[in-house]
Amino acid sequence: MRRILILNGPNLNLLGSRKPETYGSTTLGELDRLCADWGAVHGLEVETFQSNHEGVLIDRLHEAREDIDGIAFNPGALTHYSYAVHDAIEAIELPVVEVHISNIKERESWRAHSVVTPACVHTIYGRGVDGYRWAIEHLVQREARPPRALAYATGDSHAGDLRLPDGEGPHPVAVLIHGGFWRHHWTRDTLDGLAVDLAARGFATWNIEYRRVGMGGGYPATLQDVAAAIDHLDELAAEYHLDLQRVVVIGHSAGGQLALWAANRHRLKEDDPGAGPRVLPGAAVSLAGVTDLEVAEATNLGDGAVAGFLGKAPRDEAYRVASPIHSLPVDRPHVIVHGTHDDRVPISFAHTYVEAARRPGTKVELIEINGADHFDPIAPTGPAWAAVVERLTAL
């Protein structure tokens, strides 16, 4: 990928002054410069274009066939009714990521529906202007090693991206579980970089989606989805030459909690919302994970994230089943990775968990990354990820 287009639709010229409480204070000019910087990280040339006119935007989409490799597109209000824009995206046969600054699923009901989503390769919303950075990242990683998007059950959130390494296999498997405090505007694209990096290192990667809070997820549905996604490897193994005796599960943030649960669910037995694992991970890695749901809820971590995830579930049961520190011991080796400068999930969660896990003799290792923040562990070129990679073969 050499050249990408950042395309913005109606009213986005007013960024910074129009409803800053919803769209932020970043101006369009500032956003254009940010996108150029984010693209430069990957050696990309970034073109930016904005128009308030549907036909002009469609013309620019058509022109993109000549000189553009991928597009990040915020159609504005055209999102919700312009089938002409949908058809244009479909016709140009370029990868287009739909981007929205605000959380369109939690505003007026008419904003929740997008007619352009089916024509796009991915949709990112509710992450502020940083959503454009994630869109650029997705385009880059998608081209680097294209995924096979496979359903593991019916429903929009029941899918995963399978990437295969070179060679015939059988391939060891890394199951990737994204974070985002279980909320629906965070999706599996955040682990694209790790998936591509691991595939280049010889792992088949299964980057899974699951129902999140606000989209039918929460306890126990989210756990059931993670279990079903991992067990689905049993159906994929023969066709894609997967070695189910070498499976590691890796999760970030809330995904760290889900990864530790997945590696221990066989011990929970009657408490297991996923009921009877067919595929059992041999090891787990938690990257900046939420390892104690009780403390996280008591301290209002993520502005009520745990309360949203657990809903009305009885807390004694929910903590015992879903909270990693409450379900010790774990009979799988696992690694806890955390940055000292994590301001979203404090490193005290890692310290407390590892201390508790070591008491009954659980094989656990703490990797503390000096100066790292919450997202540094999922940067494939960073020191936190390098430390994980060193240990994966042994795990």
**Which residue in 216, 213, 196 sits closest to 204, CA to CA?**
196
Alpha helices (H) along 93-167:
130-144
What are the beta bridge partners of residue 120? none
Peptide bond just before 329 cis, omega within 30 deg: yes
What the block records as the tokens of 373 is: 């923040």
What the block records as the tokens of 310 is: 């657990």
CB neighbours (10 Å) of residue 209?
A: 23
Helix, strand counts (H, E) of the chain: 14, 13
SS3 96: strand
Task: Given the residues 53, 62, 80, 100, select the one marked as catalytic.
Answer: 100
Note if 23 is an active site residue.
yes
**Which residue in 145, 114, 129 sits closest to 48, CA to CA?**
129
Do 385 and 378 touch, CB atoms closer than 8 A?
yes
Task: Given the residues 23, 125, 219, 319, select the one marked as catalytic.
Answer: 23
Backbone Cα Rg of the chain: 21
Note if 158 is an active site residue.
no
What distance, in Å, lies between the first and last C-alpha atoms of the chain? 34
d(Cα 36, Cα 224) in Å, to the nearest integer? 41
d(Cα 239, Cα 23) in Å, to the nearest integer? 45
* Residue carrying structure tokens 């597109």: 73
Residue 70: burial class (beta carbons within 10 Å; 0-12, 13-18, 19+): buried
Residues marked active site are found at 23, 100
